[in-house]
Amino acid sequence: MNNNIEVAISRCEDYKKDNISKALDEALSLIGGLDFIKSGMNVVIKANLVGPMNPNKAATTNPDLLLELSRRIIERGASVTIGDSPGGPFTKLYLGQVYKATGLKDLEEFGIKLNDDFGETRVEFKQAIKCKEIPITEYLLKADVIINCCKLKSHGMMALSCGVKNLYGIVPGTTKQEFHFRYPDYNDFANMLIDLNEFLKPSLTVVDGVVAMEGNGPTAGVPKNVGLIIASKNQYKLDFICAHLIGLSRENVPTIEESFKRGLIPADVHDISCNMSIDDLVIKDFDIRKTHRQIDFANSSKLTGKLFNKFMRSRPMVKKDECIGCEKCKNVCPAKAIIMVNGKPKICKKKCITCFCCQEFCPKGAMKVKKTWLSKLIEKK
């Protein structure tokens, strides 16, 4: 065991039991193992269960990884509950569909509990910068230990969905739409996410990067073989490493940039201690979505900032030949910026807050992240 390792990276080429076991044990041993888990504890694994999707689509935490992690916890005499609150209703009926589709129902035979407590409450968090009153799923408050087991994915709004973003799932169901409307500014939204992490303080974060998602993430992207399991007791440093591995800089990801401003991570990703050379692991062809809303215009005029948002800001757009007219985008839009015209969605640009909820929850991936011509030009430069 090397106590100096802050983020542990292990190679894992697929989800075969032996490969997951070896990689998981290696990563955990490098950061101190599971010694913080004691017999009799109630351990909650907060997975990424964004919706009722087959695990082969790479949108959700793979059940085989969750099984191997849970086994190690149960061996220590603790109980395990796996849960999440996706973007739909936080109800037994909907979560039952999610558990079945994501392959989690099969885990119950191994003594793993799937959360069936659908209580909600609000807690005060005075230390927060943005979110001083947190709506939260109650089952998490009953945990002795929380482990964050996320998926490595691109994200239309935050550029990266990994450790910090995964804890947005503590917010109950459709309350997430309210939060998108309350925090339309990307940096404010990022600080809200950090507040959630600072309140919950997971003891461990494990990243399912065996098969990640690139492109039109976090739900309609393309599976990408990355072959890594990554673990850390510091989700901010872990996210910084993961961003670097898929070609994102600190400035590209609002949650990482705001974590830096709060003093939670160093300025340079290379100042985080790992067991492998992160530069050798960078995936140069990973398809990512940079938002271009992280540039600081503090010394510029308000007009400059407005022009920047107009000509640089990515926006959602519908690809009509892929759209089935289900109205899901219209129903989830927190700003009510979408109307249906001739059976297809039309987005009002003046109302759109670019939260990309429509893109995230489109069942067919017909909503895309559209970059402006200026944004594309700067990326090439």
Closest CA to 51 of 97, 115, 116, 83: 97
Q: What is the pLDDT of residues 48-80, one digit of tens each?
A: 999 999 999 999 999 999 999 999 999 999 999
CA-to-CA distance for 180 and 313, rounded, in angstroms? 17
Number of domains within the chain: 2
Closest CA to 2 of 274, 277, 280: 274
Task: Answer whether the bond into residue 218 is a cis peptide, omega within 30°.
Answer: yes
Same domain, 58 and 188: yes
Residue 59's CATH number: 3.40.50.11440
Final residue belonging to a domain, choices 252, 281, 310 = 281
Closest CA to 283 of 253, 314, 241: 241
Same domain, 53 and 188: yes
Residue 367: give the domain boundaries. Answer: 302-380
Dihedral pair phi/psi, residue 177, rounded to 5°:
-65, -40
- Provide the pLDDT for residue 334: 86
Same domain, 129 and 210: yes
In the block, tokens 């709004």 appear at: 157
Q: What is the pLDDT of residues 271-321, one digit of tens each?
A: 999 999 999 999 999 998 665 444 443 444 455 555 555 555 678 889 999
Structure tokens at 355: 């939260």
3-state secondary structure 13-26: CCCCHHHHHHHHHH
Q: State the pTM of this model.
A: 0.88
Task: Sort 363 into a burial class: Cβ within 10 Å, 0-12 / 13-18 / 19+.
Answer: middle
Residue 295 lies in a domain: no
If one counts every other C-beta atom within 10 angstroms of the C-beta of residue 33, the result is 14
Same domain, 274 and 139: yes
3-class secondary structure, 279:
helix
What is the pLDDT averaged over residues 26-43?
A: 98
pLDDT exceeds cutoff 70 at 374: no
In the block, tokens 């239309």 appear at: 156
Same domain, 323 and 358: yes
